[in-house]
Amino acid sequence: MPLTLATFNVKDLFLPKSDEERLVFPIKVDALTSLLVRADADVVGLQEIGGPGALRTLLERTRPRVTYGDSVVGAVDARGIGNALVARVTIVSREIHTATKLDLPVFQRGDAQPFGARIPLRRPIVHAVVDGGDARAGGLGPVHVFVCHFKSKLPAPLRSETGDVVVPTTARGRSEAELRSLFFRSAEALYLRGLVDDVLAREPAAHVAVMGDFNDTIDGIAARILLAAGHRAADKLPGALYACTDAIPLTQRFSVLHAGVPEQIDHILVTDGLRARVQDARILNETLRDHGSFAESTAPQPDSDHAPFVVRFV
């Protein structure tokens, strides 16, 4: 039985509250629905879902062309967005991973964590085990799927003792804000890498897929932490993850388009056993419009600035 996975950042899918949002919302839902129907995936990891109500509205619109019978919805962050997973195959088990603080690696055993609880997991990671078909009949068996959304590349400002933003006044101050953003994204990726390792410690041959918006390219730090593949083929350890983009021409490997710059920041990484079962991969970016300079905007958008990434396993 083939299994198709997809990841899709739907960009601020909130139930409308203002007149402007009520005008844009049905247009946006129609645009998202069209892409979900094209993806025709058995399991979809969604990012920037504004709670269960927004997800329910989206899924109602996809029926009957694509019907998802089960879902797992994570808590939202301060901006009101979170991760979700929807499936039209059986969800065997589900878990939502949260953490009040994320650790960074130390240089010597016994070193104290440098930032205490300053780096929390802002968007809980959704983890579901889905039924990939009877392995005895050629199916995949159980597949662990993690859905994530890491910190954007927007600078993380310094804050005062009372939590107010301190606007940088020097070049170094701006550089420090960039580094804080990198610390956030790296710590999130390292935490998720640990979750994958926990699964593989219990089930060394488990099929695992990590998918979501990394806010970074495949050669960026977040992906490299998750891949854990080293710099040479000989460095690869058991549990290394692999990207699923080899079947996609380089010119088509982009899931966002901002100010004329195409990038792939949405990824599906899998364990070696799943990599061997990849049949094809697609990024549905043919109608992706240029959304201008990257920034977190509060204006309602009639579409998403991401394209779905779809991988089929057999």
Q: What is the mean pLDDT of residues 16-28?
A: 95
Look at residue 84 and tell me if it is in a domain. yes
Tens digits of residue pLDDT in 94-151: 999 999 999 999 999 999 999 989 999 999 999 999 999 999 999 999 999 999 999 9
Look at residue 167 and tell me if it is in a domain. no
> What pTM does this model have?
0.95
Look at residue 43 and tell me if it is in a domain. yes
Look at residue 174 and tell me if it is in a domain. no
**CATH number where 221 lies:** 3.60.10.10
Q: What is the mean pLDDT of residues 29-41?
A: 97
Q: pLDDT value at position 247? A: 83
Look at residue 285 and tell me if it is in a domain. yes
Look at residue 162 and tell me if it is in a domain. no
Least confident segment among 50-54, 95-99, 161-165, 294-298: 294-298
pLDDT band at 232 (very low <50, low <70, confident <90, very high): low
- Round to whole Å and give the CA distance between 5 and 19: 35
The domain containing residue 208 runs over which residues? Answer: 3-153+182-313
The domain tally of the chain equals: 1
Average pLDDT of the chain is 94
With pLDDT > 90 as the criterion, what percentage of the chain qualifies? 92
pLDDT band at 299 (very low <50, low <70, confident <90, very high): confident
Tens digits of residue pLDDT in 46-75: 999 999 999 999 999 999 999 999 999 999
Q: pLDDT value at position 229? A: 74
Q: Is the pLDDT of residue 246 over 90?
A: no
Q: pLDDT value at position 254? A: 98
Q: Is the pLDDT of residue 296 over 80?
A: no
Tens digits of residue pLDDT in 180-230: 999 999 999 999 999 999 999 999 999 999 999 999 999 999 999 999 976
Look at residue 170 and tell me if it is in a domain. no
Tens digits of residue pLDDT in 256-276: 999 999 999 999 999 999 999
Q: Is the pLDDT of residue 164 over 70?
A: yes
Q: pLDDT value at position 43? A: 98
Q: pLDDT value at position 237? A: 76
